[in-house]
Structures are given as C-alpha cells and as structure tokens.
Structure 1
Amino acid sequence: MTDRPVSLTPPPSGYTDWLAELKMRIHSAQQRAALAVNRELVLLYWQIGRDILERQGREGWGAKVIERLAHDLRTAFPDMKGFSRANLMYMRAFAEAWPEQAIVQQPVGQLPWGHNLVLLSKLKNAEQRLAYAQRAIEHGWSRSILEMQIETRFLEREGKAVTNFVQRIPPPGTDLARQSLKDPYLFDFLRLGKDADEREIESGLVQHITRFLLELGAGFAFVGRQVHLEVGGDDFFIDLLFYHLKLRSYVVIELKADKFKPEHLGQLSFYLTVVDAQVKNEHDNPTIGLLLCKSKNKVVAEYALREKNQPMGIAEYKLLESLPAELQTGLPSIEQIERELGALSDEPDTEND
C-alpha cells in the first residue's frame, strides 16, 4: 500500500504549531532513548569490570583471563562491539576508579563510554573527573573538546581572574560573573610568536572565533571587532565586544601586549560608560570589562580595581610559545593507559581451569 500524494493546499489553522510541537516531542523522546541506552551500556561495562576485579581478587586469576574472556564474549556476541581485550581492561580500570555502582547513575553514566575513557586516563582523582563530567554534560562537549579542556586545565583556571565583582555586581550574579572569567587565558591555537602585538592577537582571535569562544566559556556571544563608538564627534574603537547570555551583559575585552598598568583601566572604563549609554538597553545589566594583558602584578591589579565603580576583571593570556610547563598535562594518554594495562598480561597466570 502506497501513501497518497500530499495535498499542496495550505494546512488547516493550528496545524503548523501542532507539527512543531510533535517534532519537539519526538526529538526529546529520541534523546531520552539514546541516553537510556548509553546509561545501560556504561552500567554493563562497570558491572563487567567489577566482576573481573572481584574474581581476580577472590580466585587469584591472572591477567590472561581477560584475554580468554574477550575471546569467549566475542564468540557469544559476534554482532556486539566493545568486548576487545583492551576494552575489558578499561572496564576493569573503570570499576576500580568508581567502586560504588551509584556513581554510574550520576554524570559519568550520562556520558558516552569514550568520554569516560578520557576522564579515566587524563585525570587522577574522582573529584576532578566528576567536575569535568558535569561540565561536559552541561555544555555538550565532544570527546575531543573534553580532552582539550582537561589538558588546558579549563576548570582549574575558571574564576581566577582578578575582579571587583563582589563589590560591583549584586548577588546572585556575583558568582556567575566571577566564574565566567578565568586566568590565564590560553591562546595556544593562534600560532603567534611571543612578541605578537595587540592587533595580531586580536585578528587571530577573530579568525579562530570558534576556539576563542570555547576558551572564553559558555554564555559568550561574539558581537564584533573594532566596534565603532562616536562620542562628541570623536571616534573610538573597542577591541572586542561580546554579550553574555546568562549575565545579560555586554562584555568589553581590551588587549594589551605588555604588562598590566593601572592606566589601562581608564580606557576600559571609558568604553564601559559609552556602551552603557549607547549600546545596552533597559533590560541589560551593566557592561562588564575584561582587560587581557601579557602579564600582571596581582597586588597592583587588586589596588587598581579597588576604586573602580564599574565591574571589571584583569587576566593574563598565554600564547603557544609562552605556555608554562605546569599547564602542560603530564597525565597518560588513552593509548598509554592501554599499553600499561596490557602489560598485565605478562604476569604469571594462575587462572583456575
């Protein structure tokens, strides 16, 4: 039986809205189904890993039992992927990292297995793993983005900028504003030398706006570069202008290719005043300023902000060549973890047949 041709006559009143609602319901149901399937798979992997741990401990089985188990499971379930020896090793490590089953119902159970392998291999403690898992869910990070955020210590840098937000932004916006800025900002994607000037950096950030927005964090929307302002017949240009969707505030970013100086805030303050007067509307909150500089004296920065009546933050930026060693990850990659876990097969096998 074939479907009848769709009529080209206009749909009845209310049909379009109803169709849009149905599409949203179907999409939501698909998402819930995918999430449920993923949670069950992660739970299954955790249970297999727990069983391997318990039986190796109780029965004294050696690592070669995992190789035998991989063969037998693949034979029994030829259409299922995930039963390789390496993945069974990961399951064992996963269960060892999360001893309690309840954790699988938390963020780690909502993430795909590949994301969990990144958390497992890149982070050493449960607190960090949970924090990054939660952010990955909130912001929809892909596996590669999650790995990049961990390697650049995204969460460890969050909220570290020197600001006057406690004094200038009333709660509950204070904490959100403070968490929205970090220190330092890592512009390792620019491929610029350490002596790059402000315009080169600014141009590079706009050319790589997707990476720049990712580095800024959730909520930032790009408005423009060298945004023109006219005051009393004189022309002024803001380096970079953003809008923060959660704070409902414009964010003016000024770049300085040298060490922070208190006089830098005078120019930034002027721009905030003009944006508040000419750009923002009555529903927007006061404009926030962020000064990005090559380096800063934290005490000087704190003193400079003390008497400023507008919300401002001061943070450093790091280019590729000047990225400090302590910001480079020293944790093993997934491939290294696989090699280390695989080395267990060289142990004497005491498997009971």
Structure 2
Amino acid sequence: MTTLIPPDYAAWLAELKATIRTARLKAGLAVNRELVLLYWRIGKEILERQSAQGWGAKVIDQLARDLRAEFSDMRGFSRTNLLYMRAFASAWPEEAIVHQLGGQIPWRHNCVIIDQVKDRATREWYIRKTIENGWSRSVLELQIETAAHRRVGASQTNFDRALPSPQSDLARDILKDPYTFDFLGITDASNERTIEKALLLRLRDFLIELGVGFAFVGSQYRLEVEGDEFFIDLLFYHTRLHCYVVIELKNTAFRPEYVASSISTSPPSMTWCVTR
C-alpha cells in the first residue's frame, strides 16, 4: 500500500472543503428557517388567543416565564421576544410568505424591519435586498435609516441610450439617488481630492453604500486616448453589469458638462460614466 500523496490530492481536498462549507451554510440556513417559522407559529397562536380569549399582558409575562423554565437551554423566550413574535405574525399572516421571505434572513433582521419599517411592500423590499446583498444587521439598519428603498433606481440617467437592454434597466435599478456619505465626516467645503481620499480610507463603507456587485479597480487611474493622458478619479468594475464604472468626483452640484448624470443634487456630487 503506497503512502505517497497522489498528485490530485490537493485539488480533491479543495473541492471537499468547498462541499463541506456549502453543506454547513445550507444547514445553518435550514436551522434559521425553522427557528423563524417556530417564532411565527408562536406569534400566530398568541394573536389568535388574544383575539378569542382577551389575553392581556400578564398572560404574556406568565408564558415567558413558563417557556424559559421548560426550555432553559434555549434563548428567545423573553417577554420582549414573544411580543416580536406576535408582531411578526401580525405583519406576515400567510405562512407561505414566511417561507419565501422572513425565513430567509436571521430573526434579528426581521425584528429590525418590523420595528423600523411599517409598510408591507417596503418591508418586502428590505428583506429581498438583505437576501440579495447579504446585509449584516448593522448594514440593514443603515440602509433603512437612509431610506435606501426611495433612492434605488431614482436617478436620471442616459443608460437607455448608452447601454443595450436589459443591461440599461439593470444599471438604472442598481444606482441610488442620492448617495449618502455621512460616514465620511467631512464638510461641503472639502475639495475633490479630500473627498476621494476619505472615500478610499472608508472603502468598505463606500462599497456598501454603492451597492452589490461593485469591485474597486483603482483611483486616479491613468488612461491614454489618442496620445492624450487622462486620470479617472475612481474606477470600478461591476460584476453583474459586466462593465467598468467610472466615477468623477465634483464638489459642486451637477452641470451638463460633467457628461454623465449626477447622483446628488447638492455638493459633493458624483458623475458616473459606464463603459465597456
């Protein structure tokens, strides 16, 4: 029996590791779905009994104590969480929706959305974007705080003329209007280079605000066109659009000579150019 490592061992090991990671992720998602569904069912029972029997606050308090005593190894049966379960079941009366949406994100994400978003359609939007982008709870809270649902797809662009369909539709749906860079902590008086340096120092926050699919290529990126030298403020590649995205920083409101559309109506602003 040979003790030599076969030549294809490393590749096989890498595939096996990837398979295990995928299985662990699926198992984690399955557990989360079951937990969220359990909480929804408890919340639905509470709603029904409150409606039929006139349950008051004291019954919820007693229920929390009894469940914690019986399931001491489980967290989640506090009075506060039981009230969240009731609110969750009230927000999503249909079990099918829980399977399709609420069960796809962590319970605490659901609590944030229930707390901070009151409109059903908007709640659905944030759940879908959380699933799509993999938002952490803190990022979700930031997106809600800055009303991301009102900003996405609202910008005026020339994408219908510059890009073929459906790429033009996807580009428009990806962009926000306006973008919010409060995390920079700089004033409107800052010049373009200061803004650029601040964005690069907070690149992670910048990418989160830009949205899903943006890959950073470089700053002050040099191009030579017909013997002339140009420098791009910020260059990105978008993995879903399959094209480069050029950002030109200006510390003024948008003017037509900036070529592309502005994402903000007040300084500082970004001018976009999408190129293949």
- TM-score, length of structure 2 as denominator length: 0.91
Q: Deviations over 1:65-97 (max 9, x none)?
A: 000001111111111111111111111111111
Instruction: Give 1:145's aligned residue.
Output: 139
Instruction: Give 1:237's aligned residue.
Output: 231
Q: Deviations over 1:167-188 (max 9, x none)?
A: 2211121111111222101010
* Correspondent of 1:253 among 227, 247, 252: 247
Q: Does the CA contact (< 8 Å) of 1:253 and 1:292 recur in 2?
A: no
SS at match of 2:244: strand
Q: RMSD of aligned C-alpha atoms?
A: 2.1
Instruction: Give 1:123's aligned residue.
Output: 117
Deviation at 1:231, TM superposition (A): 4.5
Q: Does the CA contact (< 8 Å) of 2:235 and 2:244 recur in 1?
A: yes
SS at match of 2:64: helix
Distance 1:196 1:207, change over 3 A: same
Q: Is 1:77 equivalent to 2:71 in the alignment?
A: yes
Q: Does the CA contact (< 8 Å) of 1:260 and 1:293 recur in 2?
A: yes
Letter in 2 for 1:295: S
Q: Distance in 2 between matches of 1:198 and 1:294?
A: 16
Runs of 4+ in 1 over 3 A off after TM superposition: 230-235, 289-296
Instruction: Give 1:29's aligned residue.
Output: 23
Q: Does the CA contact (< 8 Å) of 1:213 and 1:220 recur in 2?
A: yes
Deviation at 1:100, TM superposition (A): 1.3
Instruction: Give 1:329's aligned residue.
Output: none
Letter in 1 for 2:218: G
Instruction: Give 1:264's aligned residue.
Output: 258
Q: Is 1:90 equivalent to 2:84 in the alignment?
A: yes
Q: Quick one: higher RCO (CA 8 Å, sep 6+), 1 or 2?
A: 1
SS at match of 1:179: helix
Larger Rg, first or second structure (1 or 2)? 1
Q: Does the CA contact (< 8 Å) of 1:255 and 1:292 recur in 2?
A: no
Letter in 2 for 1:49: G
Deviation at 1:17, TM superposition (A): 2.4
Which runs of 5 or more residues in structure 1 are unaligned? 1-6, 266-288, 297-309, 313-353
Q: Does the CA contact (< 8 Å) of 2:177 and 2:264 recur in 1?
A: no
Letter in 2 for 1:55: R
What is the 5 A alignment of 1:217-228?
217-228=211-222
Letter in 1 for 2:25: Q
SS at match of 2:183: coil
What is the 5 A alignment of 1:62-211?
62-211=56-205
SS at match of 1:263: helix
Q: Does the CA contact (< 8 Å) of 2:217 and 2:235 recur in 1?
A: yes
Q: Does the CA contact (< 8 Å) of 2:188 and 2:251 recur in 1?
A: no
Deviation at 1:10, TM superposition (A): 5.2
SS at match of 1:16: helix
Q: Does the CA contact (< 8 Å) of 1:253 and 1:290 recur in 2?
A: no
Deviation at 1:113, TM superposition (A): 0.7
SS at match of 2:230: strand
Distance 1:56 1:133, change over 3 A: same
Sequence identity percentage: 57
Which runs of 5 or more residues in structure 2 are unaligned? 268-272
Letter in 2 for 1:47: R
- TM-score, length of structure 1 as denominator length: 0.72
Q: Distance in 2 between matches of 1:135 and 1:61?
A: 36
* Correspondent of 2:266 among 295, 310, 316: 295
